[in-house]
Structure 1
Amino acid sequence: DWDSPGEFTFAYEVGMAPAFEVELDKKLGVDRVLVEVDDALLDKEIADMTRRFGKLEDAQVSEAKDMLLGDMIELDAEGNIKEGGIMNRATISLEFLEDEHTRSSLTGLRSGDEVQVDPHKVSSGHDDLARMLGITHEQVHHLESSFLFRVAEVKRMVPMEVGQELFDRVFGQGAVEDETAFRAKVKEGMEASFERDSDRLYLRDVLRKLEEKHQVELPDGFLKRWIQETSENPVTPEEVEQGYGEYAEGLRRQLLQDGIIEKYGLEAKGEELDAFAKRYVADQFAQYGMPAPEEGEIQRMAGRILSDRDQLGRIRNTIVERKLMTHFKAMLEPKERRIPLDEFVNLARS
């Protein structure tokens, strides 16, 4: 009775984080895996560049990589144009269609030709289909009609030749003057990009290995009760049990990571957060070809970013992740090995 103060007895149930000591040494045995940028991968990247900087030209008859501009017209159950139905100007990129039959039905067409299509097979997901037909996301979920596609234009991407114009477009005026230097610079950029992926994979693999080495015991019973008591929506013990394995794995990894951060002083410091936010602001202006504002304005914009809890958390996590990767590479001195891109992707998904 809070209105009649007296002696109260409170009961608490406390779940204690397990105590453990993380030791990092070279015997951990985790390789750092890099992507082998071979000639085939390099050729594909350069081919993509020639298309990216190519020109769209009119074509007479559609081929497998062309774009079709035309009208999507809703049909009724009998295959006739539906009165009051959906009609919208749309673009279909044949190159990105997954259904081979649909792509085949859209090749060999000229301006004015008509073909019946399944709208779900000429779009990539509900959002794309909603934009294509000019309807809402909710309407897409109930869409079962076939459509008539009436071709208005056939467009073909003509790749840019591998030459000085392409070199200048990719790297700037006069930065590269021959194909050998161009290929070397493209390869260097690809390796730098894959390097970041290798770092993230290495960080994941080290933490997994540490989990195996340090069997962190959690107060499972307490945690399951805590999840059930604190869940926003009511959950049954069976539901808690079903998702507990994944939750416990993530918690063990976080405890290990926090222990390493504390032991080796890898926290994100205030000045690092500030510098990161200011660099982010400057990069945003540079991305759109705009000059960076005065230092005072950058500082004010960075301050607004850091005052947002979600953005502050993302910045802190990014800084700590980079510190962990740098620390692991320095302390563990991993062996490096290169593998083809498809093997790397499968490894990252495992």
Structure 2
Amino acid sequence: MNISHQTVDDVNANIKVELAPEDYNPSVDKAIKEQAKKAKLPGFRPGMVPPGHIRRTYGKSILFDEINKLVNDKISEYISENKLEVLGQPLPVENDADAKYNWDFNDTFAFTYEIGIAPEFETPFSKETAFTTYDIKADDATLAERVKNLRRSYGKMTNPEVSEEGDVLYATLKQTKEEGIEKTTSVRTDIVEDAKTKKALTGLKQDDTVKIDIKKAFKVADIARILGITEDEADNLDVTKFELTVKNINRLEEADLNQEFFDKLFPAGDVTKEEEFEAKVKEEVEGLFKQNADQKLRNDIYTYGMEQVDVKFPEAFLKKWLKATNPNISDEELEEGFADFLSNLKWTIIENRIVTANNLEVKYDEVINLAKERIYAQIKMYNTNDEPTDEQLGQYALQLLQDREQANRLFEEAKALKVFDYLKENVTLKPQEIAYVDFEKLEKDSK
């Protein structure tokens, strides 16, 4: 057997595999004997089919399968032994399909595969590379909004006699034209965009009627939801004046700042005073801000790395490989998503180079713990009072990791976190305190 590769250019190469009969016949003979033991054919007792009969009947098919398996195995070994950083998978050169072989167990086969090679580059991160890391502080308005949301989450619904801003009106909306739209629905006054309309919807009582211009009052998506029509229909309403008649007024009263409320949010007894509650809220909010700051740092590192690494890829090969592995993808879909594919590929290579160069290792326990964190966050999102045990989280994590796709996704996420932690230790971070409103503006300006 002879395997070699020839460089086409910096990112393309060919691997050639030559097989003589003595290379493949031993594995073919073994496969034929195993098939003979398992075969159930008319006229033969189970397990007693002569190998010669199997060779005559199924020999070419077995020969083809064994050669294909042998070639793939040897190419994989060759790539590993020669430390070739291959993109995608080797693809057989189409001209080889025209080669004439007898498939009589005496052919000398020669196959050529094209491969894409990852471009060479230096990872662009060092102690000289500087990034800003933000310490985001919660302003009074943000804290007040969070407190309000928490109190509303545990508040109670009431039905006042007179409407105020922020109430939900259960009302009938009737278009001011004959045979127009008529819909009894809930109307949130907090999403009204027009100040005049917002004022008109306050001070109303049951059975009161007011006229509103629904296009001025609401966004198109909200109009569609309120009237139960499509967004296109909402956008093309020929008459936008509606009569609104109040059926009922609903108001969500905020929960009182008392011990019962505190114990719903925190372990019993942890918070007993309003000042302690406000301190906890600030801690929670600024903890979330830390996640925002980390994400900003990750985005800045990613952007810097992508800008600094300017390389070419074997694009023609990669498109051919994507078509081969996704036969249902259209040429238009392939072209549409190809730029994003290359971006993801470039960053994956950058990450992998950092992992390899610094002997970073993603351990199984790290993937398990990450799965537990994600499951815990999901549980708390839907049930703040449910506190799963570590044992339960471990069982859920093991079940999740039985799904190969989920396991691969979590492994890649754990690897990304490992690289991020490594880079934080090996670049220069310049801390900067910033108010949340200023951080929001910074984020908006960077998009």
Aligned residue type for 1:79: K
Show the counterpart of 1:95. 190
- Asked whether the 8 Å contact 2:128–2:428 carries over to 1, the reply is no
Decide whether aligned partners of structure 1 residues 228 and 306 sit closer, same or farther in structure 2, where only a CA change above 3 A counts.
closer
Give 1:31 deviation, angstroms: 1.1
- Asked whether the 8 Å contact 2:193–2:216 carries over to 1, the reply is no
Q: Is 1:79 aligned to 2:177, yes or no?
A: yes
Show the counterpart of 1:106. 201
For residues 165 and 116 of structure 1, the distance between their equivalents in structure 2, rounded to whole angstroms, comes to 42
Decide whether aligned partners of structure 1 residues 236 and 316 sit closer, same or farther in structure 2, where only a CA change above 3 A counts.
closer
Decide whether aligned partners of structure 1 residues 283 and 330 sit closer, same or farther in structure 2, where only a CA change above 3 A counts.
same
Show the counterpart of 1:56. 157
Q: Is 1:259 aligned to 2:353, yes or no?
A: yes
Give 1:337 deviation, angstroms: 0.7
Show the counterpart of 1:29. 130
Show the counterpart of 1:207. 302
For residues 72 and 210 of structure 1, the distance between their equivalents in structure 2, rounded to whole angstroms, comes to 55
State the SS of the aligned residue for 1:335. Answer: strand
Aligned residue type for 2:161: Q
Give 1:123 deviation, angstroms: 6.9
For residues 64 and 243 of structure 1, the distance between their equivalents in structure 2, rounded to whole angstroms, comes to 46
Decide whether aligned partners of structure 1 residues 299 and 343 sit closer, same or farther in structure 2, where only a CA change above 3 A counts.
closer
Q: Is 1:194 aligned to 2:289, yes or no?
A: yes
For residues 343 and 390 of structure 2, the distance between their equivalents in structure 1, rounded to whole angstroms, comes to 46
State the SS of the aligned residue for 2:116. Answer: coil
Pairing 1:298-337 to 2, within 5 Å after superposition: 301-337=396-432
Pairing 1:33-182 to 2, within 5 Å after superposition: 33-72=134-173, 75=175, 79-82=177-180, 87=183, 89-100=184-195, 102-114=197-209, 115=211, 118=214, 122=218, 125=221, 129=224, 132=226, 141-142=232-233, 149-162=244-257, 164-182=259-277
191-200 or 2-11: which moved more? 2-11
Show the counterpart of 2:371. 277
More strand by share: 2
Give 1:153 deviation, angstroms: 0.9
State the SS of the aligned residue for 1:30. Answer: strand
- Asked whether the 8 Å contact 1:68–1:151 carries over to 2, the reply is yes
Percent identical among aligned pairs is 26
Decide whether aligned partners of structure 1 residues 168 and 282 sit closer, same or farther in structure 2, where only a CA change above 3 A counts.
closer
Decide whether aligned partners of structure 1 residues 94 and 267 sit closer, same or farther in structure 2, where only a CA change above 3 A counts.
farther
Q: Deviations over 1:283-316 (max 9, x none)?
A: 6667644574895x76654333112233223322
55-64 or 3-12: which moved more? 3-12
Show the counterpart of 1:249. 343
Give 1:272 deviation, angstroms: 2.7
State the SS of the aligned residue for 1:111. Answer: coil
Aligned residue type for 2:131: V
Q: Deviations over 1:218-245 (max 9, x none)?
A: 34555566667768443369x93x7655
196-205 or 111-120: which moved more? 111-120
- Asked whether the 8 Å contact 2:351–2:416 carries over to 1, the reply is no
For residues 63 and 294 of structure 1, the distance between their equivalents in structure 2, rounded to whole angstroms, comes to 46
For residues 293 and 160 of structure 1, the distance between their equivalents in structure 2, rounded to whole angstroms, comes to 29
For residues 201 and 8 of structure 1, the distance between their equivalents in structure 2, rounded to whole angstroms, comes to 55
For residues 194 and 49 of structure 1, the distance between their equivalents in structure 2, rounded to whole angstroms, comes to 17
328-337 or 190-199: which moved more? 328-337
Give 1:194 deviation, angstroms: 0.9
Aligned residue type for 1:259: R
For residues 119 and 137 of structure 2, the distance between their equivalents in structure 1, rounded to whole angstroms, comes to 41
Decide whether aligned partners of structure 1 residues 119 and 214 sit closer, same or farther in structure 2, where only a CA change above 3 A counts.
closer
Give 1:94 deviation, angstroms: 1.0
State the SS of the aligned residue for 2:206. Answer: coil
Aligned residue type for 1:305: L
Unpaired runs of 5+ in structure 2?
1-97
- Asked whether the 8 Å contact 1:119–1:129 carries over to 2, the reply is no
Q: Is 1:342 aligned to 2:437, yes or no?
A: yes
Aligned residue type for 2:178: N
Q: How many residues align?
A: 336
Aligned residue type for 1:51: R
29-38 or 19-28: which moved more? 19-28
- Asked whether the 8 Å contact 1:22–1:260 carries over to 2, the reply is yes
What TM-score results when the alignment is normalised by the length of structure 1?
0.75
117-126 or 192-201: which moved more? 117-126
Give 1:164 deviation, angstroms: 4.5
- Asked whether the 8 Å contact 2:157–2:251 carries over to 1, the reply is yes
- Asked whether the 8 Å contact 1:276–1:315 carries over to 2, the reply is yes
Give 1:117 deviation, angstroms: 5.8
Q: Bigger relative contact order, structure 1 or 2, given CA contacts below 8 A and separation 6+?
A: 1
Aligned residue type for 1:345: E
For residues 342 and 390 of structure 2, the distance between their equivalents in structure 1, rounded to whole angstroms, comes to 47
For residues 317 and 165 of structure 1, the distance between their equivalents in structure 2, rounded to whole angstroms, comes to 43
Give 1:187 deviation, angstroms: 1.2
For residues 257 and 357 of structure 2, the distance between their equivalents in structure 1, rounded to whole angstroms, comes to 52
- Asked whether the 8 Å contact 1:64–1:94 carries over to 2, the reply is yes
For residues 147 and 260 of structure 2, the distance between their equivalents in structure 1, rounded to whole angstroms, comes to 13
Aligned residue type for 2:353: G
